[in-house]
């Protein structure tokens, strides 16, 4: 798939694979200093990216890669959302 200049490429913090931004999950450090999942990719703040799969989410959580990238603690709630989104994405892949 050729990447056009209109497709921003981002790197997964867990596996370091570069992929089009819309294929990844975006996690954002908000100006308030917390970390949330940004499903639309539109929120302001420093972002980190993860593949939509459980192995990358689990590797990122285990290795504290989001914390390291964003330099702030990852709330357990946000970790749960990431795990749910990845599980959902894997279900969709299996179904198709």
Distances in whole angstroms, Cα of residue 71 to Cα of each of 4, 62, 66: 31, 16, 8
Q: Write down the least CB distance from residue 53 to Zn ion, Å.
A: 7
In sequence order, the β-bridge partners of residue 27 are: 37, 48
Give the containing element (helix H, strand E) for 12.
Answer: none
Q: Write down the least CB distance from residue 26 to Zn ion, Å.
A: 13
Nearer to Zn ion, 8 or 31 (CB): 8
Q: Write down the least CB distance from residue 90 to Zn ion, Å.
A: 13
Give the containing element (helix H, strand E) for 62.
Answer: helix 54-62
Nearer to Zn ion, 12 or 27 (CB): 12
What is the contact surface with Zn ion in residues (CB under 5 A)?
A: 12, 14-15, 51, 56
């Amino acid at each position: 798939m050729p990447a056009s200049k209109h497709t921003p490429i981002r790197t997964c913090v867990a596996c370091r694979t570069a992929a089009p931004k819309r294929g990844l999950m975006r996690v954002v450090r908000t100006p308030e200093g917390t970390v949330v999942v940004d499903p639309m990719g539109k929120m302001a703040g420093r972002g980190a990216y993860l593949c939509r799969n459980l192995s990358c989410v689990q590797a990122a959580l285990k290795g504290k890669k989001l914390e390291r990238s964003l330099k702030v603690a990852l709330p357990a709630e946000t970790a749960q959302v990431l795990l749910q989104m990845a599980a959902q994405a894997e279900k969709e892949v299996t179904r198709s």
